[in-house]
Structure formats: C-alpha cells, structure tokens
Structure 1
Amino acid sequence: MKYLILMLLSLCSYSIDLSGQIIMPTPGKIERADGRLRLQGKIRMYAEESPGSFIRLFYEKLVPESAVEWCKEEVNSHISWKKDVTLPAEGYRIRVTPERIIVRAADDAGFIYAIQSLRQWNTGEERGLIFPCVEITDFPRVKWRSFMLDSGRQYQKVSTIKKYIDMASMLKMNYFHWHLTEGLGWRIEIKRYPFLTRIGAFVGQGPEQQGFYSQEEVKEIIGYAADRGITVVPEIDMPGHAEAALNAYPRLGCFNVAVKVPQSGFTQNIFCAGKDSTLIFLKNVLDEVCRMFPSAYIHLGGDEAPKGNWDKCPDCRSRIEKEKLKDSHDLQLWFSARMADYLKQKGRKAIFWGDVIYKDGYPLPDNVVIQWWNWRGHRDLALKNAIRHNYPVICGTNYYTYLNFPLTPWKGYTQARTFDLEDVYLHNPSYRPREENPLILGMSSALWTDDGVTESMIDRRVFPRILALAEQMWHSGNPENFDEFYGKVLSKQLWFEQQGYSFGPALKEDAGTNYKWD
C-alpha cells in the first residue's frame, strides 16, 4: 500500500512539473531554466572538428542524416558539438537555450552519453524534438560499468545481442561482457577447430540451445557496440564449464573420452592442465579470439572448476610434481598464469572470476584483473585477497547484481536466492565508495541463463532492477533515498517500454506469490 500511494504521488508530481524530464541514470548536476527549444525540419549543426563515430548514433536515434545540414558558423547552428578536455573522461555538458543546444564532451564516449541523455530529455514525439531549457553536467562515478549476457547456456539471436548492447549504452555502461562458452554450448566460431561449433554448439537439448556466432557476426556485433560506446569483452571459460568443448574434442580432457553434458550445473570434466597439447589448443583459440576482439580485456573465466579429475589424472599429477606445485588448486593458478602470460604477450589483460584467489599459491602475472562475484558463498574474500595482491577488481556480486535471480522463487531459485529493486538499491555489496581503493575499477551486472532463461524471459528479470545498478555505476553525486529513486523508476517506465523493453515487477509485494517468471 505504501508504494501504491508513492506511485500515484510521483506520477502526479512529475507530470505537473513542466520541465519534469527524468534522465536515468541520474546526471551529476541538472540546472533547469525557463523556456524550451523546438527543432523540426532541417537541423543545422556545427562542430569545431570533424565529428567522430558518435554522430552515427545521433543520426539513428534523434535526427536522420538527411535532415541535417552542417554549417560553418556556430551562430547559425541549432546544435553544436565541442571537445572540452577540462571535463573528466567520458564526461559531458549539455546546455539547452531557446536558440540552440551546445554539447561539450571530453571524448567520443562523452558525446555518446550526451546523446543518450538528449534522447531521454526530449519531450517531443511525431511533431519534432522539444527540449526544455537546462544545463547538465555529468560524468561517471566509476570507470568500469558492464552488463554480462550468458549466451553459453542459451543461444540468443544477433538482434537480441544488439538489443542489450543498446540497453547498456542507454544506461551509460561502457562494457558488454559476452559469456560465449559453457558446458551447454560453445557459441563462437573458431576456424582452426570447427568441431567446437559443429558439435559443441548443439549439445544442449532445448530449442534455444542450438547455434553459434560466426566470426562475421561477431565482427558485426563489435562494430555495432563501438558505435554506442561499448567495448565487447569475450569470455572463454577455462578450465571449467568445458563440457561442450570436451564433447567436440575429447582429447582436451584428462581421460580422452567424450563427457556427459549436464543440463544444469557443472561437472568435474574440465580442461586437462597436465597436457601440453591442451594448452596449445587453448592458446590457438585465444589467437583467433584476439584477432576478432580489439578489447584490451579478455575474460578467461576460472570459476567453478572441480578438481576431482585433476586429482586422479596422471598428466596433472606429473605437472604438479614437475612445477613443484602444492595441489590441484595451485595447478589451476599455474594454468591461469600460463594463459594470462600468453595474453600479456598480445598486449591484453586477463580477467578471472574470484575463485582463482580464494587461496594463495602460484603467482598470477601483473596483467590480471579479478571479478568478485560469490558473495553468497565467500562474502568479500576475493575482494580482500585481490587487493592484498595488488590486482584490480571488478565488483559484481551475485547478491545483488545477478539479474537472473528472480524476485520470488522459481525453479532452482529458492527464497534465499531472490531480491528486488529495493534490495539492490539499499544493500548491494558491489556498490563501494569511490575512495575506498583505487584498485576497484567499478561494477558489473549480469544475466545468466541457468534453468532455461530464454530470450522472452530476459526483459522482465532485467527491468527495472538494472536501473538501480546503472544508477550505482554512473551517478557521481550522493544517492537519493529509495522512495525518490523508486518514483523516478515508475515515471520512466513508459519511456523504456517505448524503446522495446518489458518491465517485470519492481518489488516482491508487486510480484506476489503467483507471478509467472517463464
């Protein structure tokens, strides 16, 4: 009842306010002014220097290129674009007067975020563009802001991948973490090893577990993301979650046999760290991955890798003895170090899930980044150990950034694995003070597709909780109280739905006990 009253009050208050536009995530500073700018017909634009690729997003989302006329004098323009190196990286400033819009940005990313803010600030519809007068100054709270989509357990269409890249850009994120390999599917074409996709992409049983992305499709997606200020970070999980690859090439495992593919969870069938041939195979895979992805970061997984087979494997036991390692966990560290060193030779950084540093052991190289995830099982152990060893950290704890966790119980998700918008906003352990430690790069969010989360189920899990996570990643000021933030979410819901995103319930009391998550 409390939130029903809040909803009615917030909708009324925002509709009464003439300039009551809302931008999410919230800009650092908004100074409203009287008046508005209406743009229609031919739009004259000015740029101090040749505009970068960001202008393609402007043409696509606000004004088609055919309706734009470039002019040589700013005084004649409706919109001007100016580079401003005094702004922080990725920062921007927008000034709207009754005569024109002036956009200043530190870099192309800043211009992209300015465009995303202008999209939300526009009050016009078919009649053209209408912008209430305002001055907005904005920049990100943290450097790393990402959304991860699990395409390993469930395959999504290319258009769906683009949809969530669009979402990430709208919410001013700068990385799209693409989980491409799993026990239930190997989704990326590796030309040197065609069975990875010929067999490995079709080991799942469900209709949305069949398929892979060709290298041409991958390049298309990378380019699409780049135009939206998004870097695509691929994840090739190793040594665990490898059952699909081991079905395609059984020799990569410890015992040279095709393995059973689990329809949920994971098994002890992981890549063999004792065979030189397995390491060579994985390095060859990384060669092709690095040729496709220009990202400075390559995610190598490293989570949930049971060592039962390694403990029995003669090759792994021999490796442990030869390298003077302590145990199978130390062997995983040695294996991870070899892969990270290989990426270092290519000028790349390796991201690993926090599992690799739960215990000390063989040292990892200095190009390693740790992604802290397992709050439920290990609390902040990975965060503390990473900082103690001087590794940069991405904070993305399963509570409360894993958006596959529903608001109410569903299939394998018990009550203990549920959370709502208020939980995210008030209790997210990944939301760390900026000044806590310079090694903390930022925050991540994720949508895993465990238990058959197919394409049609994604939106209602992601929205509206992703708005709280985006706010924590981006907003550089002090956080509002939850009631104020929730009012903004309710008022902005229609806009996001018009962009093609469906909302699920925000609060557990909204979902009740009978909400259908599938």
Structure 2
Amino acid sequence: MQTLLQLLRDGDEGWALLHAEITDAPRFERRGVMLDVTRHFFDVAEVKKFIDSTSALKFNHLHLHLSDDQGWRIQIDSWPKLTELASSTASLGDPGGFYTKDDYREIVAYAAERHMLVIPEIDLPGHTHAIGVAYPELVEDPVMNDSLIAESARLGQPLPVAGEPYLGWGVGHSSVRIHEERTYEFVRDVVRELAEMTPGPFIHIGGDESLGTPQADFDHFVERATAIVFEEGKIPLAWHEVGAAKDIAEGTIGQYWGKTTPEGSHAAEAAHFVERGGALIMSTADVAYLDMKYSADFPLGLTWAAIIDVRTAYEWEPTAALDVPEAAILGIEAPLWSETTRSLSDVERLVFPRAAAHAEVAWSPQRASGRDWESFRARLGGLAPLWKAEGVDFHPAAEIPWSER
C-alpha cells in the first residue's frame, strides 16, 4: 500500500497514479527507528505522529527508549515509586512525564495498525540514575569519570548526585547493584510487566556505556538479565557491549552502535551474538544516528560520532562494518537520542529527511536500477509537498532539489 501511495502524483490534469507494474519486497526484514523518550519526554499524541511519518517510509519497528539516567517513563505496578518519584524531570530541567499502561497499550496498538512493532527498552545496568531516585537501595553511588566531569563543565551542566534527579546528559556514572538479589527481583518484575503488555517478541535490556561497572560485574549482570528475558517468554535485545559476556543467553540479538570502522573491541563484542546463535541489528553511529548534526553549525544535535549530511546517511552498507555472515544482519535501526530535542518539531528536523535515506538502505537491493545518490535525491525532493501537508517539520537540506508539487 505504501508503495502504491508513493506513486501518487499531482499532475497537470490533477491527481493520478503512475502506470506501473509493481514488484517490490524489502531487502531486510528489520527496518527500525528509535525514539528516546527519556532525555526528553514525548506524549502519546506526539509518538503517534512519529509513527505515522516513519511507517509511511516502510519502517516496521519502533524502539522506545523508556529509561535512562534522566527519568523513568513507563508505569510498573510492582515498583510504583519509579513513576511517582523518577519521572517528573528531563534533560536541562525540562518537564518529564511517563506512560500509563493504558497509554503504552494505545501506542502499541496504534503502531500495529500501521504494521509497526514496538520494542520497549529498559537500559541496564548503567544509565540507571533515575532508578536510584525512586529506589536508592538498588543503585550504586555515581562514579565520576574524567570525560563526564569535563563535558559537564563545558556544557555548564550539573554532575549527578545520588538520590536527586539528574538534569545533565553525561554518561557512564550509574550502575545498579550487581550483587544484590533484590536487583534481579526488580529486573524480573519490570520485564514481566513489560512482557505482559508487549505483544511483540522482543524486550531490549540496554547494556551500553556501563563505564562505572567493573567488567566481571557487568558480565554477571547481563548474563542473568538476558536469561530473565527468555524466562519471561521474550527474546532479549541488547547494545553490542553485552557481547563481551561469555554466557549471555543463547539467541540474544545484538544492536551495533559502533562506527563503520569498528573501534576497540566493538567488532568482537558484536560477533559474539552471532556465535551464540543470535543476530545483529546495525545502528552504525557515524552514518545512522539521527541525533548527529547535518553540519557543524546546525542548531540541533551532537557531533561525537560524526557530522552526517543526507548523502552520508544514504551511502552506507549495513553488511560492510563487521566480519559476520550477511545472513546474520537482520536489518538496520536509525536511533534518535533526545538530548537536544525539546519538542517534536526538533525531533522531526533531525529525523527527516535522513530517515528516508535509511528507509531506502533497508528496503532496496544494494545494487539496483535507481539505487544511487542522484536518483535518490531527486525522488526525496518529491516528498516535500507530502511532508508539508502532514505538518512534518523536515529540514530542507540544501543538497536536495525540493519539489513544490
């Protein structure tokens, strides 16, 4: 249906469909976007609008990043203080919020009507400062690192303080208490309640940037956490660092957020998911991260991974970064982290038009007629009237010949 709609044109004689025979199927089954609703919160109506505009590009998975240092965004009945005490703020001191279970079910159902599967993420064992605001017995005191201190000073942001909401966006300072059995009771309860209201097969347990957690403790935690997800009837997803652990649950799927040329141990960590019978989703940061700036002077976004213009977002190959069988790559996911996005309009300017580039990378064969930059930029320009009509606040990148009709 989306392919048919993409052929609709407003010509000299009015609206019409191009005369064509359609033979169309996706290269990758897994074509995803991620929305971080934790650093800044977006309500149900805003998430629905995001679903509308991304599902129209044939994305079929929505990854919701529901917890982080800055807040907790999903109702958990067995741990009510998470939303009572740890949901009211966001980055930069902006208002927070959370989804009730009914809100979440409404989002899941709305996405499903548009053939989009929701994947919830609870980020563990790091990115967990907000948990400590609600339940301080579950987390360690913040562990400062040189990068956190320097970046907080440069941005004029506060350092994390145990038991107080964190308003900055530095990373690596938080960890749950690995050797407390109560921690795993918490994980199981959260996973169980998420699983009960998530029809899709996946629960994402995070695992990134746990800089304050000793490696042996990290390995112990993620091995137990991935096992808990399987025991609760779901398939665990995790960021690629989780692949460092020897005994992660078999079949766990990894999400690679390293660069097109892997750094350090990233490639080996990602490959371990495949060795354990799992697979990989490619979110290669220097081409696929939607929160990176288009140019050095763009008012939104960050630059730590790269500056990513539309052409860079289009001209990458998901199977090229890692030495794993091509069949082990399930597809791609383009994440939008929300440190700098204080409104849905901010989100849309970073996501569009680059999401269209990732949609084509995920859908079309690597080598096919029209699968090249010049063809793509001309076709992309034709989306402007549609996005304007639907109120999508896209960035009119200069390299694209935007159409008026």
Q: The TM-score by the shorter chain falls in which range?
A: 0.7 to 0.9
Which 5+ residue runs of structure 2 have no aligned equivalent?
143-161
Write the mapping of 1:410-429 to structure 2, written as runs, cut at 5 A. 410=299, 413-414=302-303, 417-427=306-316
Partner amino acid, structure 2, of 1:290:
A
1:374 pairs with 2:265: no
Give me the whole-angstrom Cα distance separating, in 1, the residues matched to 2:400 and 2:22.
Answer: 36
Q: Against the structure 1 CA distance between its residues 428 and 146, is the aligned structure 2 distance closer, same or farther, given a 3 Å change threshold?
A: same
SS of the residue 2:237 aligns to: strand
Gaps of 5+ in 1: 1-114, 311-327, 511-518
Aligned counterparts of 1:174 and 1:456: Cα–Cα separation in 2: 22
3-state SS of 2:217 partner: helix
Provide the TM-score with structure 2 as the length reference: 0.84
Q: 3-state DSSP class of the match of 1:445? A: strand
Q: Structure 2 CA distance, aligned partners of 1:407 and 1:267?
A: 26
8 A Cα contact 2:38 2:90, kept in partner: no
Specify the alignment match of 1:231 in structure 2: 117
Q: Please state how far the C-alpha of 1:444 moved relative to its aligned partner.
A: 0.7
Q: Is the 1:430–1:443 Cα contact (8 Å) retained in structure 2? A: no
Q: Give 3-state SS (helix, strand or coil) of 1:167's partner.
A: helix
Partner in structure 2 of residue 364 of structure 1? 248
2:251–2:273 contact (8 Å) kept in structure 1: no
C-alpha change, 1:154 and 1:486, in structure 2 (3 Å) is same
**Structure 2 matches for 1:271-350, cutoff 5 A?**
271-307=176-212, 310=213, 328-350=214-236
Of 163, 178, 188, the match for 2:64: 178
1:161 corresponding residue in structure 2: 47
Q: Which amino acid aligns with 2:185?
A: I
Contact 1:407 1:507 in 2 (8 A): no
Counterpart residue number, 1:506: 397
Could you tell me which amino acid in structure 2 is paired with residue 201 of structure 1? S
Report the counterpart of residue 270 of structure 1 in structure 2.
175
Contact 2:204 2:237 in 1 (8 A): yes
Give the TM-score normalised by the residue count of structure 1: 0.67
Shift of residue 464, structure 1, vs aligned partner: 1.0
How far 1:118 sits from its partner (Å)? 2.5
Distance in 1 (alpha carbons) for counterparts of 2:285 and 2:105 = 30
1-side partners of 2:73 and 2:331: how far apart? 27
- Give 1:478's match in structure 2, choosing from 367, 372, 386: 367
Residues 408 and 508 of structure 1 are in contact (CA less than 8 Å); yes or no, is this contact kept in structure 2? no
**Cα deviation, residue 187, structure 1:** 0.5
Is the 1:407–1:508 Cα contact (8 Å) retained in structure 2? no
Once the 2 structures are TM-superposed, how far is the Cα of residue 343 of structure 1 from its aligned partner? 1.6
Post-superposition offset of 1:498: 1.9
1:211 to 1:173, Cα distance in 2 relative to 1, 3 A: same
TM alignment of 1:61-460, pairs within 5 A: 115-123=1-9, 130-204=16-90, 206=92, 208-254=94-140, 258=163, 261-307=166-212, 310=213, 328-357=214-243, 359=244, 361-375=245-259, 377-378=263-264, 380-409=267-296, 410=299, 413-414=302-303, 417-427=306-316, 436-460=325-349
Alpha-carbon deviations, 1:370-425, whole Å to 9, x = none? 00002175464443343344431011111111111011225783487211011122
Name 2:147's counterpart in structure 1: none
1:300 maps to a residue whose letter is I
The 8 Å contact of residues 465 and 506 in structure 1, kept in 2 or not, is answered as no
- The counterpart of 2:386, out of the listed 479, 486, 495, is 495
Q: Does the 8 Å CA contact 2:75/2:83 hold for their aligned counterparts?
A: yes
For residues 1-28 of structure 1, the C-alpha deviation after alignment (integer angstroms, 9 at most, x for no partner) is xxxxxxxxxxxxxxxxxxxxxxxxxxxx
- 1:290-321 Cα distance to aligned partner (Å, 9 max, x none): 111111010000001123xx5xxxxxxxxxxx
Contact conserved, 1:200 with 1:247, CA < 8 A, in 2?
yes
Q: Contact 1:240 / 1:303 at 8 angstroms: preserved in 2?
A: yes
Identity %: 29
3-state SS of 1:374 partner: coil
